[in-house]
């Protein structure tokens, strides 16, 4: 396990956060309703009546508009963060405490 020695502290922190957090954690912390038992919810990106937004373990994919990504992209589509680094900061502040 020498990988740690070759990565910067900040990068290491970021990867450990995304390893600890799930997409459901992000949704509940941000005050969104839980996805249904099929892990589907209504898409925050496009207007729709039926849920076509599939919540994955650490990401999402919308079958309606094709939006997809990981946890940072999820923070952005939920309007928690405006870019990758503010998403990382939000996760650190809300979840990054051990
Ligand atoms: Zn969509």
CA 53 to ligand 1 center in whole angstroms: 6
Hey, what domains does the chain have and what are their CATH numbers?
A: 3-95 (3.90.580.10)
CA 65 to ligand 1 center in whole angstroms: 4
Q: What is the pLDDT of residue 18?
A: 81
CA 29 to ligand 1 center in whole angstroms: 21
CA 97 to ligand 1 center in whole angstroms: 32
Strands, sheet with 59-62, edge to edge from the N-terminal-most edge strand:
40-41, 53-56, 59-62, 68-70
DSSP calls for 32-92: PPPP-TTSEE--SSS--SS--EEEETTEEEETTT--EEEHHHHHHHTTS-SSHHHHHHHHH
CA 49 to ligand 1 center in whole angstroms: 11
Does 3 score more than 60 pLDDT? no
Q: What is the pLDDT of residues 51-63, one digit of tens each?
A: 999 999 999 999 9
Judge if pTM exceeds 0.85. no
Q: What is the pLDDT of residues 52-98, one digit of tens each?
A: 999 999 999 999 999 999 999 999 999 999 999 999 999 989 986 55
DSSP 2: -
CA 76 to ligand 1 center in whole angstroms: 13
DSSP 7: S
The structure tokens listed for 81 are: 């963060």
CA 69 to ligand 1 center in whole angstroms: 12
């Amino acid at each position: 396990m020498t990988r740690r020695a070759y990565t910067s502290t900040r990068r290491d922190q970021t990867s450990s956060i995304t390893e600890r957090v799930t997409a459901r954690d992000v949704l509940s912390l941000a005050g969104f309703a839980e996805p249904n038992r099929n892990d589907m919810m209504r898409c925050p990106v496009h207007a729709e009546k039926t849920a076509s937004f599939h919540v994955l373990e650490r990401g999402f994919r919308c079958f309606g508009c094709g939006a997809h990504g990981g946890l940072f992209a999820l923070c952005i589509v939920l309007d928690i963060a405006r870019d990758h680094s503010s998403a990382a900061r939000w996760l650190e502040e809300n979840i990054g405490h051990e």
